[in-house]
């Protein structure tokens, strides 16, 4: 599985759900402003649990965009050694959005979220009901566009991998049943066709 780098703008967001990132495919980079001298106890404990998965980057200078430039630099540095990485910038600062658009234009996977809970992999891990999982699967299928799975077997495999292979076969089938009953997926002789809204 690709590595997901979570770059936290600690000046903008002080996340509390860091425990959700305690998985092998996540690496966390905490960017701390020059004037931020202390970490709240709860966050320090959560970060400590992640151990070697976390790297601290203390910004050395002040300025309105000093932290933003540091994040952009580290993304560029990481891309050179890990071009398949996915970058999640956690920040309320919309100034990152043009950078993300540029990265995507260069085929670099990147997104901004205001909170760790908005990261698709985290959202998928926290979803419990077939209906919640259905929404996540539909969003993923829309992203896949022309490369959507064309057989029941590969669709089930896609659903399972989206949820980190943590679902039972019955839970995967339940999601597939919701897809089928919603009319967004049709199955004929183990072949799958789609009627997603974005398909026209």
* 128-178 per-position pLDDT tens digit: 777 888 888 888 888 888 889 999 999 999 988 888 677 888 888 988 998
Which residues on neighbouring strands pair with residue 40, listed in sequence order?
none
d(CA 99, CA 110): 9
State what percent of residues in the chain have pLDDT above 70. 97
Mean pLDDT of 97-114: 93
pLDDT score at 190: 92
37 close to 29: Cβ distance less than 8 angstroms: no
| Per-residue pLDDT, 187 | 92
CATH class of this structure's domain 127-199: mainly alpha
Query: What mean pLDDT is predicted for residues 80-103?
Result: 94
Classify domain 4-118 at the CATH class level: alpha beta
Tell me which residue of 127, 78, 76, 71 sits closest to 95, measured CA to CA.
71
What residues does 57 pair with on adjacent strands? 31
Q: Which residues pair with 56 in a beta bridge?
A: 30
pLDDT of 200 above 70: no
pLDDT value of position 139: 85
Instruction: Check if 4-118 and 127-199 are the same fold.
Output: no
What is the pLDDT at residue 31?
A: 92
Answer with the residue of higher pLDDT: 42 or 11. 11
pLDDT at 48 over 90: no
Q: Are 127 and 97 in contact (CB under 8 A)?
A: no
The domain limits of the chain are: 4-118, 127-199
């Amino acid at each position: 599985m690709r590595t997901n780098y979570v770059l936290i703008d600690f000046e903008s967001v002080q996340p509390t759900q860091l425990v959700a990132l305690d998985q092998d495919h996540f690496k966390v980079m905490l960017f701390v402003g020059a004037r931020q001298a202390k970490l709240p106890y709860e966050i320090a404990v959560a970060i400590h649990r992640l151990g070697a998965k976390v790297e601290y980057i203390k910004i050395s200078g002040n300025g309105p965009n000093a932290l933003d430039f540091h994040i952009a630099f580290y993304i560029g540095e990481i891309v050179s050694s890990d071009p398949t990485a996915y970058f999640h910038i956690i920040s309320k600062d919309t100034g990152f959005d043009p950078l993300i658009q540029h990265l995507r234009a260069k085929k670099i996977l990147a997104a901004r979220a205001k909170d760790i809970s908005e990261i698709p992999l985290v959202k998928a891990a926290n979803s419990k009901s077939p209906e919640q999982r259905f929404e996540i699967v539909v969003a993923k299928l829309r992203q896949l566009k022309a490369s959507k799975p064309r057989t029941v077997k590969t669709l089930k495999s896609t659903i399972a991998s989206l949820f980190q292979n943590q679902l039972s076969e019955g839970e995967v089938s339940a999601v597939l049943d919701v897809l089928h009953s919603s009319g967004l997926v049709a199955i004929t002789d183990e072949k799958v066709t789609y009627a997603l809204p974005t398909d026209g």
